[in-house]
Structures are given as structure tokens and as C-alpha cells.
A = this chain, B = another copy of it.
Amino acid sequence: LKRIKKQISMKLKGIDENQLIKILTLPVKKDTSVLRGIGDDAAIIRDKKNKFLLITTDILIENIHFKIAEAESYQIGHKALACNISDIAACGGRPKYALISLGLPKNLSLNFIKGIYRGIKKLANRYKITIVGGDISSSEKLTINITLLGFAKRENLVFRDGAKVGDRIFVTGKLGGSGKGKHLKFSPRVNEALILTKKYKINSMIDLSDGLAQDLYNIISRSKTGAYIHEDCIPLSSEAENIDSALYEGEDFELLFTAPERESEKIKGSRAGKLKITEIGRIVEKSKGFKIIGKDKKAKEVSLKYAFKHF
């Protein structure tokens, strides 16, 4: 299940989201057509011989993921679709069909709703996505649920759980400070992911939605490995206050991926489209843990306690 929310701190009777998902999703029936289900960026389903169907869904709710007073209507629409596109990109896919469910407060103006759709449609056109359906209901809080379908060729397909000990860890672009505006207007990395997965052997990939700490943890926990990253190497955006912005704030929507050491020389310092790629660390054995090497050269455990929690 994906998380694309601003930092909130609430308790659902003391249960955190990962526990909640575990409780709710087991037991799941085995379906051999489903390569990856709950837990990856998108569900991955065998469609044809060399074609895989990808499906992802995200729910955005007023005051949780955006505030109407702080965002233009078209930015809300843009973000709602963009974070779904980012999930498809992270699997090496191209987005194709979208369904849009809206819960609309009765006091919302028609112009505001048109603005949301303008943001959605502009982005849909840019990525050649067709809006094929949806649902509309009244609601107390503005709610947008988008489901996005895409397709991937076998040669591009990449999962979260494929990281191998010895892999180098890379990110596209610069991290941190997205909350200052970028989270409302970012470009999902579809073409960059297609270039990367075509040119190099990529073992695992995820989009950076919850912050580098949580998202890299998602890769290593599912790949049953550890990771060392270097504070010095992490590319900070000019909006980032410090390294914690990159580690914990989330919503950068850049790509985080791992590739075998022998690919490293080719990838390091190269570009995916216009985006710079930076090597930030390596995958290690699980027993070595998840550590960040500070500017003082000391290794310390990466804490997840500051990472985004939903409840």
C-alpha cells in the first residue's frame, strides 16, 4: 500500500499503518497471475507473454493530503494523478487508463472542481492517459481517489524486492524540501525509469514518496538485505533544510534504485533524460543493518521513528 501523505500524527487505537495492513491483508488467496500484489508500488499482473498489467490506487483527502486554502485547485488535481503515475513509473511501466472517484462537498464551487479536472487532464494528456471512468458522490471533505492502470514490458519490469548484497544505491534528482511547493507540481519520472530500466540492469526500484529512510527501508525489508548510505553523497535540493529533509519529509517523487556494482561505473554521474543520477550507498547483508555514514565518518543506525505515520 502506498503512502503519499503529509506528515500527520494520529492513532487508530495505537495501531500503525503497517500493522494495520498486515492484519487486514492476511490471508490472501494465492493467484498465480499476480506477480506482485499488496506491498509493491503497483500490483503487477501477467497479461500477455511480454506485457504486464500494472495497477495502483491512491486516496487523497482534504486536510490530510492537501489544504484547500494552500493549494490551487489544478495543483490538487495534478498531485492526485501524479503520485499514481509515479507508482507506475517505479515499476518500469507506462501509465494508460485512469478512473477518478470524487467526493465533493456541496459548498465547493463548480470552478474549483473544474480546476481539479484541469490539473488532472493536463497531466493525463502529457502522459497519454485516457480517463475511462469514475464515480462522483457528495462528501463532507473533498476526497479524490484515482486508480491508474499501466503496462510494462518484461525488459523494463522492476520490483521493490530485487535488491542484492553488493548492489549500489542510486537516486535521481535532488531530495528534500518538497513540502515548500514541489509536492504540488512535481513531474513523475516515467521516461527516466524507462531509460534506466532499458539501459542498465536495475535490481530494485521504488519512488520516493515517504522519504529516503522509509522508502529504502521498504526495499531492503522486502529484499531481506541491509543498506549503508553516505550523508555526503545524498543530493539535497536548495529547499531542503538539512539531511533530515531528505530522509524523512517524503514526497520527493524521485526514483530510488539499486544496480549491481559492475553497472555502477556506467550509471554513476550519468543522466536519465535531463536528470542527474547520484550514487548514495550500497546494499549490505541484512545482519549489518540499515546505517548512514555521517560527515564525521561515523556510522549510525537510520531511525524510522521520524518517518511518516498515517495513524
Contacts and interface: CB of A to CB of B under 8 A. Distances in A.
A10 to B, nearest CB: 5
Residue of A17, A28, A125, A135 with most partner-chain B CB within 10 A: A135
User: Number of copies of this chain in the oligomer?
Assistant: 2
A135 B131 CA distance: 20
Residue of A38, A48, A59 with most partner-chain B CB within 10 A: A59
A94 to B, nearest CB: 13
Residue of A11, A55, A143, A147 with most partner-chain B CB within 10 A: A147
Interface residues of A, number: 70
Contacts of A12: 104, 106, 108, 110, 113, 138
Interface string A127-156: 000111111111111010101010000000
A50 interface: no
Contacts of A45: 97, 132
Given A12-B138, A47-B47, A113-B24, A133 B59 contact: no
Interface of A: 1-3, 5, 8, 10-13, 15, 17, 20-21, 23-25, 28-29, 31, 34, 37-38, 40, 42-43, 45, 47-48, 55-61, 63-65, 97, 99, 101-104, 106, 108-110, 113-114, 117, 125, 130-141, 143, 145, 147, 149, 310-311
